[in-house]
Amino acid sequence: MAGSTKAKPSKAPSGTGAKKPGRPGTTSVKDLEAAVRAKLATSLLSPEDAKRMGVRIRSAQEMAALKLPAGATFELPYFGLDGKPTGFRRWRYVEDLRNDFQRKAGAKQLRYVQLADSPVEAYFPPFADWRKIAKDPSVAVVFTEGELKAACVTRHIAPCIGLGGVYSFRSARLGQELLPELKDFKWEGRTVAVAFDSDSSRNPMVSAARTELCRRLTQLGAIPTVALVPDAADGTRQGVDDMAHAEGLDAVVEVLSAAEPFGPAEALHEMSSEVAYVRDPGMVVELATGLKMRASDFCNHVYSNRHYTMKVDKPDGGFKLLKVPTARAWLDWPCRLELKRMTYSPGEDRITAAGEMNTWRGWGVEPAPGDVTPWRELLDHLFGKGTPERAWFERWCAIPLQQPGAKMFTACAIWGRLTGTGKSSVAYCLKKIYGSNFTEIGDEELKDARNEWAIDKQFTLGDDVTGQEQRKHADRLKAMITRSEMRLNPKYVPSYTVPDRVNYLFTSNHPDAFFLEDDDRRFFVHEVTAPPLPDSFYEKLKEWRDSEAGAAALFHHLLCLDLAGQGPSDRALRTAAREAMIEDGLSDIGRWVRSLRDEPDAVLRFGAVKLTGDLWSGADLLRVYDPEGRGRATAGGMARELKRAGIPLAYKGMQVRTGKGPQRLFAVRNPERWVSCASGEASRHYDSTRSEHGSNAGKASNPLKKDRKK
């Protein structure tokens, strides 16, 4: 394509862009002018160019008068093929109009607007004779996204038509497959390069729009080509104007010159709008459904019925038509939609900015103000009105919605002996908000090493956990609650690793549903003691929670809830129910050790004889606990329970030389003295308090004076 390539990227005016915009409508005129100049400069457009384009700054008040969102913009009028304004305009905001609520909800920043019900038009930058170009099919043209990009290319390289959106070559509302002004072009034999932004090959919607535009042009006799704009140097999306500004105009000319013919690759471009190849773990994923396939299954089974015809020249000067399997050809195609890895990132696009396949399917409902009385009444009933437990739990529910993708380092366990109180109803109220990201599991799934239930899940209800084999899966549960990544093992496709975004709410009718340790910060435990409410309440609650309005209102309520500084990594609120569950989960020796920790003088006795001494070995304490040696406890088991209870070891946990040989000694009394003491000091104290002539001397039946029976 002909055109000057000597122009250099112009720099933004000094000082522009340094200030962050304040509240919409408060930015000064001077700052607005600087922001607009800076934006135009990144598209290599000078103030003189802007004047020819009719660019004008519009204040927030002017936008509000047009019944459009109030915020400072610059206006971009459109022109016809004759170079005269058509009356159609679009506005580009230079302020972020989102409020705190919209940011929390993950709403995208509004960039461009046009008047409601205004028609779609193509943008013809006023730097070329478009009427003459339209009549001459020997002149190659370019299509791109956006007015400023089109102006940049037209001003410096070649005639370029701008589209307000990637589908803005047509009007679905008016039933126009191609806009009337585009039909005025003589397309037969004309070379056309479609140069959408660098994310076009990994954004299925953009890829599909590009394919449709190329098909329309092909039907009109044009020769469409696809120009693949690369990402910016830092890996982010860029358009042709960004590339020209960063790398120079020659780089854009090179991309346009290397554009590949659309015709032979039509079927492959279409395939890239439907599937993606994910390098890690090496599989094909269907974009619309999330179906995962091995490459062999993709080619030989799922997409084996797709073919396209390719014209192949013969040595004798003729040609033959070859039927080519699309799936296999697509896998071998350098321009296939290829992504780095699988991820699960709530709040992000289907294909992330980092080039990952995001399997998060979006929220189940859109937030909207409404009545949340049933939710408030349910929490008041389960937790008590105005209690710290109620406030902490509701904030726990709100955090992953206000901070999409937040991994809570705590799980909630709600239990109560009575059934029908609504313990699981809390989760079912949240279910509609999470949509397909919600799942429900039981004891079997908790024990199952194959974790297919966790695929693409963000919130999990563990309903009616029984506590069976609780010690066995206690450590696994701890890891599930706090891990940052998990390895998924679905059938028929390779396993792969994704961020772990699953948060857990458990319900149970059993007081010992979980095995908890004293220092475990992961579980918030609450016991429901109130009897069930009347059936009419639960019927009303179910009707509300299952409705779109109810779920939308709850979503809105939780997004607006004041978190009072509570965050995802905070320690679980300690409750009386948690302490009781810890006690219920203890073995006999565990209970004895905790009594020892809390009241050593009351426990360390033999009849009326007080057993003195601060330092004790696990074997010593076992003989006090079980002097006859009738139980199945061992010295090692005693030592483990002492550590679980938080009783520290003397001499920094190292062995101490004693009259009984090297031993690790627990500081049952006065731990602050013994944790960092010298070995000799610990040894002397221990030997003196265990001596037959020491304070532990007494009756012959003293368990500390004889070996434990084996």
Within a domain: residue 447? Answer: yes
Is it the case that residue 108 has pLDDT exceeding 70? Answer: yes
pLDDT attached to residue 26: 61
Do 525 and 558 belong together in one domain?
yes
pLDDT attached to residue 511: 85
**What percentage of the chain exceeds 90 in pLDDT?**
68
Closest to 153 (Cα-Cα) out of 243, 78, 91: 243
- Would you place residue 14 in the very low, low, confident or very high pLDDT band (cuts 50, 70, 90)? very low
pLDDT attached to residue 7: 39
Do 646 and 681 belong together in one domain?
yes
Do 174 and 251 belong together in one domain?
yes
Number of helical H runs and strand E runs in the chain:
27, 30
CA distances in angstroms from 320 to 262, 266, 311, 312, 325, listed in the order given: 20, 19, 6, 5, 16
Do 237 and 301 belong together in one domain?
no
How many residues in the chain? 710
34 contacts 16 by C-beta, under 8 angstroms: yes
pLDDT attached to residue 700: 38
State which of 357, 384, 415 marks the end of a domain: 357
334 contacts 201 by C-beta, under 8 angstroms: no
SS (H, E, C) 189-250: CCEEEECCCCCCCCCHHHHHHHHHHHHHHHHCCCEEEECCCCCCCCCCCCCHHHHHHHHCHH
pLDDT attached to residue 510: 85
Provide the 8-state DSSP code for 354.
Answer: T
pLDDT attached to residue 455: 93
Do 399 and 532 belong together in one domain?
yes
State which of 315, 331, 357 marks the end of a domain: 357
Alpha-carbon gap, residue 577 to 594, rounded angstroms: 17
| pLDDT per position as a tens digit, 524-533 | 999 999 999 9
pLDDT attached to residue 159: 98
The single residue listed with the structure tokens 């999409």 is 404
Within a domain: residue 5? Answer: no
- Would you place residue 376 in the very low, low, confident or very high pLDDT band (cuts 50, 70, 90)? very high
The continuous run of DSSP H or E covering 414 comes out as: strand 411-415
> Treating both helix axes as pointing N-terminal to C-terminal, what angle do 373-383 and 548-560 enclose, rounded to 10 degrees?
70
Cβ neighbors of 204 (< 8 A, separation 6 or more) are 272, 273, 274, 287, 337, 350, 351
Within a domain: residue 22? Answer: no
Tokens representing residue 369 in the block: 């103000």
Q: Count up the domains in the chain and report the number.
A: 4
Do 252 and 281 belong together in one domain?
no
| Sheet of 357-358, strands arranged across | 292-293, 283-286, 275-280, 338-343, 357-358
pLDDT attached to residue 105: 62
| pLDDT per position as a tens digit, 450-501 | 788 999 999 999 988 765 555 666 777 888 898 999 999 888 899 999 999 9
Do 411 and 476 belong together in one domain?
yes
Do 417 and 493 belong together in one domain?
yes
Do 407 and 544 belong together in one domain?
yes
Within a domain: residue 234? Answer: yes
Alpha-carbon gap, residue 417 to 415, rounded angstroms: 7
Domain holding 693, by residue range, is: 586-705
Alpha-carbon gap, residue 77 to 221, rounded angstroms: 30
User: What is the overall mean pLDDT for the chain?
Assistant: 88
- Would you place residue 697 in the very low, low, confident or very high pLDDT band (cuts 50, 70, 90)? very low
Do 85 and 182 belong together in one domain?
yes
CATH of the domain at 192: 3.40.1360.10
pLDDT attached to residue 710: 38
The single residue listed with the structure tokens 């008047």 is 115
Overall average pLDDT of the 512-533 stretch: 86
The percent of the chain in helix, strand and coil, each rounded to the nearest 5, is 35, 20, 45
Overall average pLDDT of the 284-290 stretch: 92
User: How do strand 223-226 and strand 191-194 relate by DSSP bridges?
Assistant: parallel
Burial of 361 (0-12, 13-18, 19+ CB in 10 A): middle
Do 317 and 244 belong together in one domain?
no
Within a domain: residue 250? Answer: yes
The single residue listed with the structure tokens 């899940």 is 457
Alpha-carbon gap, residue 198 to 704, rounded angstroms: 79
**Top mean-pLDDT range of 102-116, 132-146, 229-243:** 132-146
State which of 557, 582, 607 marks the end of a domain: 582
CATH of the domain at 490: 3.40.50
Identify residue 414 by its one-letter amino acid code: I
Model pTM?
Answer: 0.67
Within a domain: residue 512? Answer: yes
Alpha-carbon gap, residue 483 to 35, rounded angstroms: 44
Tokens representing residue 262 in the block: 């659309």
Closest to 81 (Cα-Cα) out of 133, 120, 158: 133
pLDDT attached to residue 467: 55
274 contacts 233 by C-beta, under 8 angstroms: no
